[in-house]
Amino acid sequence: MFSFTVIKKDIHTNARLGRLVTARGVVETPAFMPVGTQGSVKALSPRDLEEIGCQIMLANTYHLYLRPGVEVIRDLGGLHRFIGWKRAILTDSGGFQVFSLGGLRKITEEGVRFQSHLDGSSHLLTPEKVVEIQQELGSDVAMVLDECIPHPATKEYAKASTDRTMRWAERSLKAHRRSDQALFAIVQGGMYRELRSACVERLALLPFDGYAVGGLGVGEEPSTLHAIGEFTAGFLPERRPRYLMGVGRPEDLIFAVGSGYDLFDCVLPTRNARNGTLFTSRGKLNIKRAEFLKDPRPVDDACGCYCCRNFSRAYLRHLYHAGEMLAAQLHTLHNLYYYHGLMESCRRAIREEGFQNWASRLRSHGAEVEGGEDSQS
């Protein structure tokens, strides 16, 4: 039911064109997954996502477990039917909440005990329970429970956490029973190369359907993110999909594609959209600025999204300052169209054996615009 094929590799980099087959359709990789934490990508409908070409989205196990509850979703036909989405879904395990809700959880060998941020109730999420929840949700790709290691972290802390994450991965694999659902392991190790390589080597011995790299994009310098991400990718199994978790700046995605990653997710395009920051072919644009008060141009002349085809910068600025919900909707639609277009450009460049030159031109152009007098950031 689940399969992954590397169709073509770039001749100058580690970028690769892939085809991921799930029970609910094909995902062409490299691909970006919009984040729908609560089963909804903020401000957009499933129809909007389909129209911009989204083939897979992400939902969060921890949040859906708390509200509305896995039993509700299961009894109403599973996550796809519940949210009205017919294409692929990847469910995160809640490992990021181990990082982001540090004051509301306690980690033990057994699992993670959370105090609900909703009502204060106590919940123990073990590796086995997290797998059980995702099986009942019926997602196409499930993730093992892990700890997203904070930065900075001592080597001693990172090693203890990574060792525990590997033991949790082994328990998750034993608990997984659903044949139509893939299970991905998660590589941790902090910013320590020897821990990263040891983690991959141990997890690669186990029959996971794919491998994710977590614990990056948590406050480290971009140069460190790139270095550790590229180093880790070099150890990942060649014939399995590679998922770089939570990294979302366009320049970081391009570097990661060149390092050999296939899947990405991040809240950056949707969160920035709600804050009035739009991604364009000429860099970032802050729609809140006064200079756009009477600007008749679209956000991006090179963009074919519904927002750019129909609305001016002046109107979008007006919507934002008026507090209209339509502002978030149009901005999010544009940003995710941009991100999916970026992934399509990556795939085309790999297919035509020109990824390295394309990426170099894009980086050079972006740096020039953001630093010059035409800056829109």
Residue 370 maps to a domain = no
Q: Residue 335's domain spans which residues?
A: 273-359
User: Which residues have CB under 8 Å from 5's CB, separation 6+?
Assistant: 18, 19, 21
Residue 364 lies in a domain: no
pLDDT at 365: 66
Q: 256 and 307: one domain?
A: no
Tally of domains within the chain: 2
pLDDT tens digits, residue range 247-290? 999 999 999 999 999 999 999 999 999 999 999 999 999 999 99
Asked whether residue 369 is assigned to any structural domain, the reply reads: no
Do 230 and 309 sit in the same domain of this protein? no
Same domain, 229 and 286: no
Domain containing residue 101: CATH number: 3.20.20.105
Beta-bridge partner residues of 46: none
The mean of the pLDDT values for the chain is 95
Which residue in the list 10, 48, 265, 300 is annotated as catalytic? 265
- For the segment 305-359, what is each residue's pLDDT rounded down to a tens digit? 999 999 999 999 999 999 999 999 999 999 999 999 999 999 999 999 999 999 9
> 259 with 291, same domain?
no
Query: Which residues have C-beta within 8 Å of that of residue 169, sequence separation ≥ 6?
Result: 127, 144, 146, 185, 186, 203, 206, 208
The confidence score (pLDDT) of residue 372 equals: 28
Final residue in a domain of this structure, among 216, 231, 266? 266
Active site residue 301: no
**328 in the same domain as 284:** yes
Contact 193/74 with Cβ under 8 angstroms?
Answer: no
> Is residue 375 included in any domain, yes or no?
no
Q: Which of 92, 146, 262, 300 is catalytic?
A: 92
Domain shared by 109 and 153, yes or no: yes
Q: How confident is the model at residue 99 (pLDDT cuts 50, 70, 90)?
A: confident
How many whole angstroms from its chain centre is CA 161?
22
Evaluate whether residue 26 is within a structural domain: yes
Same domain, 243 and 345: no
Residue 143 lies in a domain: yes
- Give the Cα-Cα-Cα angle 102, 121, 73 (nearest 5 degrees): 100
Is there a single domain that holds both residue 237 and residue 145?
yes
Give, as one character, the DSSP assignment of residue 102.
Answer: G
Q: Of 246, 184, 174, 192, which Cα lies nearest the Cα of 211?
A: 184
SS3 35: strand
pLDDT bucket at 77, cuts 50 / 70 / 90: very high
179 and 130 both lie in a single domain: yes
368 in a structural domain? no
Is the pLDDT at 223 greater than 60, yes or no?
yes
User: Tell me: the pLDDT tens digits for 61-72?
Assistant: 999 999 999 999
Residue 372 covered by a domain: no
Q: What percent of the chain has a predicted confidence (pLDDT) above 70?
A: 97
pLDDT per residue as tens digits for the range 7-38: 999 999 999 999 999 999 999 999 999 999 99
Confidence class for position 238, pLDDT limits 50, 70, 90: very high
| Residue-wise DSSP of 76-95 | TT-HHHHHT--SEEEEE-SH
- Judgement on whether residues 338 and 209 belong to the same structural domain of the protein: no
Q: What does residue 150 show for φ and ψ, rounded to 5 degrees?
A: -70, 160
The domain boundary residue, chosen from 243, 266, 289 = 266
Same domain, 314 and 198: no
Residues 191 and 307 reside in one and the same domain: no
